[in-house]
C-alpha cells in the first residue's frame, strides 16, 4: 500500500511539474506576442510609418512638376513651396531638376540628380512635413507621399486583435520545391510581380489538411512571407488578404523539415490603413476555405 501511494504521489508531482512548465511556456509565448503587437502599432504610427501615407501620384513620360500650386502636374496638399521641382521620366529613369531651396534630398539641400527608386537606398525628398519617394511598380513609376501630420497618424487609436490562442501556433511540415520556382503574385493596383517560392507548408487544422505557399519577399530575407486569405475575411478580418512572416524551416529551405506558423501574428497589409499602398494579393493556392479566427482584425479609423 505504501509503495502504491508513493507511485501515485510521484505521478501527481510529475503531472504538476509538467503543467507548470507548460504554463511557463504559454506565458512566455503570450508575453512575446503581446510585445510584438505593441511594436507593430508603434511601427505603423511612426513618423515614417504606413499611417503617414497620404498620396500616390503616377508619373507621366516627360516633365512632372510638383509643389503646392494648382498649375503643378502633381499638386501637394501641404504647406510647401508653390513649385518644389520637376521630375522627368525618361524611359526607365527619373531625374530631378529645378529644385526649390526648401527641398531636401537625403537630408541635404537639393540639387539636380538621377533618382534612385525604392530599393536598398532610395532617394528621399523632403519638404516641410512631407517625405516623397519614387517607386517602381511594373512598368510604371509613382511618387509616394508621406506626411508626418497625416490625420490617419494623428488620430490613430490602436489596432484590433483576436485574443491570443495557442491552438493556432502550429508546427507545419515543410515540403521543399525541387527546384524552387517563381510564382506570379497579383497586386491591388492590377499588376503582377514574380517572387521566389521555395516550397510548401502543410498542416492540419480543424480536421482539414492545408497547404500554404510562401514566397521570399526580398533577396537576402531570413523569413518566409505568406500572403493568404481565409473565410473570416467576409466579416471580421481585412477582405483582401492578411500577411504572415515565419522563420525558415528547421532544416533549411531545400530539405524536408518543419516550420512554425503562429497565426496569432497574422497582420493586415498596408492597404488596410491607406488607399495609397500597392499591396500584393494572395495567389489562388493561398485562398483558404477554412476560418482562421486569430491575429489582426479589420482596422477601423
Computed over every residue of the chain, the mean pLDDT equals 92
Banded pLDDT at 2 (limits 50, 70, 90): low
Question: pTM for the full model?
Answer: 0.86
What is the pLDDT averaged over residues 193-213? 95
Whether the Cβ atoms of residue 73 and residue 66 lie closer than 8 Å to each other:
yes
In CATH, what number does 50-153 get?
2.60.200.20
pLDDT at 268: 98
Q: What is the Cα Rg of the chain in Å?
A: 24
- Residue 28 burial (CB < 10 Å; 0-12/13-18/19+)? exposed
Cα 211 versus chain centre, distance: 21
Banded pLDDT at 6 (limits 50, 70, 90): low
Specify the range with the lowest mean pLDDT, choosing from 6-20, 38-52, 118-132: 6-20
pLDDT tens, residue by residue, 57-68: 999 999 999 999
**N-to-C CA span, the chain:** 67
Q: Distances in Å between the alpha carbon of 109 and those of 99, 143, 279? A: 9, 19, 32
Q: Which of 179, 215, 185 is nearest to 197 (CA)?
A: 215
Helix, strand, coil share (%) of the chain residues, nearest 5: 20, 40, 40
Query: Which residue ranges make up each domain of the chain?
Result: 28-45+157-286, 50-153
DSSP 180-243: EEEEEEEBTTS-EEEEEEEEEEEEEETTEEEEE--B--STT-SEEEEEEB-GGGGTTS-SS-EE
pLDDT at 119: 73
Which residues have CB under 8 Å from 1's CB, separation 6+?
A: none
C-alpha cell at 195: 517572387
Q: Which of 152, 167, 169, 131 is nearest to 36 (CA)?
A: 169
Quickly count: other Cβ atoms within 10 Å of residue 169's Cβ.
17
H/E element, 38: helix 2-44
Quickly count: other Cβ atoms within 10 Å of residue 100's Cβ.
15
Which residue is associated with the grid cell 497586386? 187
pLDDT at 3: 56
Q: Which of 57, 282, 284, 279 is nearest to 188 (CA)?
A: 279
What is the pLDDT averaged over residues 222-234? 97
Q: Which of 296, 165, 301 is nearest to 238 (CA)?
A: 296
Specify the range with the lowest mean pLDDT, choosing from 13-22, 94-103, 136-145: 13-22
Amino acid at each position: 500500500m505504501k509503495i502504491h501511494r508513493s507511485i501515485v504521489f510521484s505521478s501527481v508531482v510529475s503531472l504538476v511539474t509538467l503543467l507548470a512548465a507548460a504554463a511557463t511556456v504559454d506565458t512566455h509565448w503570450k508575453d512575446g506576442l503581446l510585445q510584438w503587437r505593441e511594436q507593430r502599432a508603434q511601427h505603423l504610427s511612426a513618423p515614417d510609418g504606413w499611417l503617414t501615407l497620404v498620396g500616390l501620384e503616377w508619373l507621366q513620360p516627360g516633365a512632372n512638376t510638383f509643389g503646392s500650386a494648382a498649375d503643378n502636374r502633381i499638386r501637394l496638399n501641404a504647406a510647401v513651396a508653390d513649385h518644389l521641382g520637376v521630375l522627368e521620366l525618361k524611359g526607365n529613369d527619373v531625374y530631378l531638376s529645378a529644385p526649390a531651396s526648401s527641398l531636401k534630398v537625403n537630408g541635404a539641400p537639393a540639387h539636380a540628380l538621377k533618382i534612385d527608386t525604392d530599393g536598398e537606398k532610395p532617394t528621399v525628398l523632403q519638404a516641410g512635413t512631407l517625405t516623397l519617394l519614387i517607386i517602381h511598380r511594373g512598368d510604371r513609376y509613382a511618387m509616394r507621399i508621406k506626411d508626418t501630420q497625416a490625420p490617419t497618424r494623428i488620430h490613430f487609436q490602436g489596432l484590433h486583435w483576436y485574443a491570443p490562442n495557442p491552438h493556432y501556433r502550429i508546427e507545419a511540415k515543410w515540403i521543399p520545391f525541387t527546384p524552387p520556382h517563381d510564382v506570379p503574385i497579383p497586386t491591388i493596383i492590377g499588376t503582377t510581380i514574380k517572387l521566389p517560392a521555395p516550397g510548401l507548408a502543410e498542416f492540419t487544422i480543424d480536421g482539414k489538411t492545408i497547404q500554404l505557399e510562401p514566397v521570399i519577399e526580398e533577396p537576402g530575407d531570413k523569413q518566409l512571407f505568406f500572403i493568404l486569405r481565409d473565410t473570416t475575411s467576409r466579416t471580421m478580418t481585412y477582405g483582401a488578404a492578411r500577411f504572415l512572416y515565419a522563420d525558415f524551416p528547421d532544416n533549411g529551405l531545400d530539405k524536408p523539415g518543419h516550420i512554425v506558423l503562429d497565426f496569432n501574428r497574422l497582420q493586415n497589409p498596408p492597404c488596410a490603413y491607406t488607399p495609397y499602398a500597392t499591396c500584393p494579393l494572395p495567389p489562388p493556392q493561398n485562398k483558404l476555405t477554412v476560418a482562421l479566427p486569430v491575429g489582426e482584425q479589420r482596422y477601423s479609423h
